[in-house]
Structure formats: structure tokens, C-alpha cells
Amino acid sequence: MDVISVSGLYKRYGSVIAVDSLDLHVEAGQIFGMLGPNGAGKTTTVEILVGLRERDAGKVSVLGMDPVKKGAEIKSRIGVQLQTYGLYPRLTVKEVVTLFSSFYKKPLSPDDVIEEVGLTTKAKTIVKSLSGGQAQRLAVALAIVGDAELVFLDEPTTGLDPQARRGLWDIINAMKKRGKTVFLTTHYMDEAERLCDKVVVLDHGKIIAQGAPSELIAEHFEELSIEFSNSIDKEQERLESLPGVSRVQFSDNKVTLYTKDVSRTISALMALVQNDSISIDDIVIRRASLEDVFLKLTGRRIRE
């Protein structure tokens, strides 16, 4: 059974259509990613799913219930981290995590959770005095302390330093190992690619692509790229005739070969290098990323 099932979800604020005919399904045990730039409609969707905002139209089922009718019951069975939290400014970290743990039947130990998000040294600090990144990690702690079967994380890593981001990826993977379902929003494509079993790409309130990250990439890009630096423009024809190569692109001092057969292309390229003593540097083989998919579908990069 789907843990979350949405069809034809629609929400507008005045003349702004925030969510437009959204259909999505999240299976139990998945890390599900909703990807999109600022203003795409991610937070509005999360708020509707967790029962904080009413929808204008469409069907929504979360853990088999409609958030409009069974909001309280849903809230007792989910964990939620939102971008804007009141967070009880005068309570300490330990107090607020303990308070949230008391809302659930079988919570985790507040101390363990505080440690997991790296706030042990701040346990006695009042919330008001935390830095932005620390407050963000506290918000994640509040989402996971209930050990709920379904956890919503709305851009949990925005504004975190790289180390804290990686720490959070570990936490999310650990939740999955314990059988939890995670609904994650992000505008970091690399994060989604790494973590998510399935993603939907949202733009202007509409889903423009969905699937497993690797499937989505494979669907839009068959070739891998071999990129190296050198100015060997004169070799264009010979590079184009290398086995597997479908396209050759020159820009600045970089040459990019697009190929469906990396190993044959590489061996032929190396032979060319040896025979003609052409030197090439900084070879990078990379596959297309979700970022490339977004760029291809919208003509824009996701980072504003």
C-alpha cells in the first residue's frame, strides 16, 4: 500500500497557482525526494500532506487517511521538520526535544537524538542562542525523536555546511534502514541523486519528471561524457570518428566527447594520443546528473 497517495492536488494563493494537478505515490520504506527550485511548490505540498494547510482540490491520502479529516491522528504518527519553526526560544535544546518526544507513544531517547544531530554540546543552550545551522539540526531532531513511521523533511540541508549535510544524509539513511519512509524536499540535485529511491521534479507547481534518479538520467541522457583539456581543434574530425563518439564539443580549452561506449572510446583516444604524441590533461569521465536533466527540461539551472 502507498504510504502517501496524491492525485489532482491543486492549491492557489490569490492569483498564484502554487501546486497544479499534482499526482504522486510514495511507497513504504522509500526515501522519496521532491526536487525543485525556490517557489516550485514544495513547502505548500508538505504543509498540505501533514495537515497544516487546506487544499483547493484533489485527493490526498497519508497513511490511509485524509489530512483534512484525520489531521490529529496523522500528526501523532508522523515526524515533521518545516523550514520555519517557532521552536520555543526560551527552552533549552534538551527541553524542547524532550517535549516533542512526549507527544509520541514510543519515542527515541532525547539524548541519543541530540547526539545523532551533533548538538550534544548545545543540549543546555536555549534555542534562541543557536546558530542557523544548529537550529536547522534541532528541527530535524524534533522530526525524528518520535521514531514515527513517516517523516517529512522540508529542505533539511539548506544552509548547512558540507560536514553537517553529510551527517544528515547518514541520519536519513539510518531511518531508511529502520524501515521508515522519508519524504524529503531539496533543491540540491546531488543530494537527491545520492539519497532518494524515487524523485519528482517540480517546477512552477507541476511535476516535470519522475522516477528513480538513475532511470531519469538514463532516460534523458544515453551518453557519458569524456572531458579533457587541450587545444587540439585540428583533430576534430579524428575525434569525431573515434568509436562510440556521437558528438564532440569544444569550449575554451576543453574538449568534451559524448559517447555510449566509454571503454572503446577511451582506448581509441589513448591510441591516438600515443601515435600522434598529442598530450591531453585532466581527463574526467562523468555521467549526466539530475542537474543536467533539470537543465534539459527547463532550460535553466536549478540554483537561482
Element (H, E) at 186: strand 181-186
The option from ligand ADP, Mg ion, none interacting with 38 (CB < 5 to 8 A, set by class) reads ligand ADP
Residue 44 lies near ligand ADP (rule: CB under 6 A): yes
A 10 A CB-CB count for 288 gives: 19
Q: Which residues pair with 257 in a beta bridge?
A: 226, 248
CB closer to ligand ADP out of 41 and 213: 41
Q: How far is the CB of 186 from Mg ion (least distance, A)?
A: 10
* Choice from 4, 26, 40, 217 touching ligand ADP (CB under 6 A): 40
Q: How far is the CB of 42 from Mg ion (least distance, A)?
A: 5
CB closer to ligand ADP out of 19 and 255: 19
The option from Mg ion, ligand ADP, none interacting with 44 (CB < 5 to 8 A, set by class) reads ligand ADP
CA 45, 51, 56, 57 torsion: positive or negative?
positive
- Give residue for cell 538513475: 214
In the 8-state DSSP scheme, what is residue 289? -
The option from Mg ion, ligand ADP, none interacting with 40 (CB < 5 to 8 A, set by class) reads ligand ADP
Q: How far is the CB of 153 from ligand ADP (least distance, A)?
A: 13
Helix ranges (H only) for the chain are 42-49, 71-77, 93-101, 110-116, 132-144, 162-177, 189-195, 213-220, 236-240, 262-276, 290-298
Site string for Mg ion, 12-51 (x = CB under 5 A): ------------------------------xx--------
Residue 16 lies near ligand ADP (rule: CB under 6 A): yes
* Choice from 3, 6, 9, 18 touching ligand ADP (CB under 6 A): 18
Spatial neighbors of 102 by CB under 8 A, at least 6 apart, are none
* Choice from 30, 43, 136, 186 touching ligand ADP (CB under 6 A): 43
The dihedral region occupied by 231, where left means phi > 0, alpha psi between -120 and 50, and beta the remainder, is beta
Residue 114 lies near ligand ADP (rule: CB under 6 A): no
A 10 A CB-CB count for 136 gives: 23
Residue 186 lies near Mg ion (rule: CB under 5 A): no
Residue 157 lies near ligand ADP (rule: CB under 6 A): no
Residue 13 lies near ligand ADP (rule: CB under 6 A): yes
* Choice from 9, 42, 186, 239 touching ligand ADP (CB under 6 A): 42
Written as one string, the DSSP assignment of 67-119 is TTTSHHHHHHHEEEE-SS----TTSBHHHHHHHHHTTSSSPPPHHHHHHHTT-
* Choice from 3, 31, 41, 137 touching ligand ADP (CB under 6 A): 41
Residue 38 lies near ligand ADP (rule: CB under 6 A): yes
Three cell numbers at 297?
Answer: 527540461
Count the site residues for ligand ADP by CB under 6 A.
11
What are the φ and ψ backbone dihedral angles of 59, each rounded to 5 degrees? -110, 140
Residues that bind Mg ion in the complex, under the rule CB under 5 A? 42-43
Residues that bind ligand ADP in the complex, under the rule CB under 6 A? 13, 16, 18, 36, 38-44
